[in-house]
Structure 1
Amino acid sequence: MKTTNPVKSAPEPNMPFWEMSIMLSSSMNEIPVGFLSNSGNILAKAKYTIIATTTG
């Protein structure tokens, strides 16, 4: 298990849910955490994609 959370250092007080999503995506190994923390708009898109994929 990797314990790298570059997003923690990034200021994202607006989206506390993001940390959860990133943990999900990193554990699911679908989307790299670095990529998530790197882009803002794609983040939201990926979030919904992950949720949709998880819920089915």
Structure 2
Amino acid sequence: MEQLISKIEKCKTMPELDALRMECVITGKRGTETFQTIQKAFIKKKNQLKSIPLSERNW
């Protein structure tokens, strides 16, 4: 789980983050607490990427 969270935090583009969706779901099936932790990290990173101005996005 820690490896997945570090992968999420290292993403610099939305497509990179989207590529991790299935891995998040598969890992999250291990338990509710695990899923909520991964989901929280994923949403946090997604919001960070969405805050990048459109003129600076290159993906």
Does TM, scored on the shorter chain, surpass 0.5?
Answer: no
TM range (shorter): 0.3 to 0.5
Of structures 1 and 2, the larger Rg is shown by 2
**TM-score where L is the length of structure 2:** 0.40
